[in-house]
Amino acid sequence: MVCLGNICRSPLAHGILQYKVYGLDLDWKIDSAGTGSWHAGELPDPRSIAIAKAKGIDITDQRARQFKVEDFDRFDLIYAMDASNYNDIRRLARNETDEGKVRLILNESYPGENRRVPDPYYGGNDGFENVYNLLDEATDRIIERLHSS
C-alpha cells in the first residue's frame, strides 16, 4: 500500500487489510510505504490513528518508510492511492514484471475508473472518514478477488 507520506492513507489501507485477513487462512504479507521520505520513522498521522481506533483497528505499531526498488521483489501487488503515487512507483520499475505489479487501489472497487483516494493531509477529520470508507470497500474487494484464487 503506497501513498505520498506513508502517514495518512497507506497506513490505513495497510491496517484495514491486515485486520481483515487476520483470522482468515491467508499468509499474505502486507506492508505500506510512501513515495516520499519526509516522514520516515514517524507514527501514522493522529487522525489516521483515531479513525482506525474508532473502527477497532490499532495502527500504532506502524512507522513510515519510503518505497524502495526492492519492494518490487518482496511483493506481488503494489497498490497506489492516486495517480501521482502510481506514476512515481512505475518510474522506479526495472522491467515489465515490476510495472505489472502496480495498481490503483480504487480500481478494485471502481474498475477502470482510475479514481483516487484523496489526500486528506491538509483537510479536516471528514477527509479521514472518507478515506477510511473508500479503503474499507476496496480491501473487501481485494479479499473477495484474491482469497479464492
What is the contact surface with ligand 4NP in residues (CB under 6 A)?
Answer: 3-9, 34, 38, 119, 121
For ligand 4NP, give the closer residue by CB, 1 or 142: 1
Cβ(20)–Cβ(139) below 8 Å: yes
For ligand 4NP, give the closer residue by CB, 105 or 142: 105
Who's near 16: CB < 8 A, 6+ residues apart?
A: 52, 55, 57, 132, 135, 136, 139
Question: Rounded to the nearest whole angstrom, what is the least distance from the CB of residue 121 to ligand 4NP in the complex?
Answer: 4
Does residue 119 carry a catalytic annotation?
Answer: yes
| Alpha-carbon gap, residue 4 to 13, rounded angstroms | 13
| Alpha-carbon gap, residue 43 to 87, rounded angstroms | 25
From the candidates 45, 71, 88, 119, give the one annotated as an active-site residue: 119
For ligand 4NP, give the closer residue by CB, 15 or 34: 34
Does residue 8 carry a catalytic annotation?
Answer: no
Does residue 27 carry a catalytic annotation?
Answer: no
From the candidates 9, 47, 88, 116, give the one annotated as an active-site residue: 9
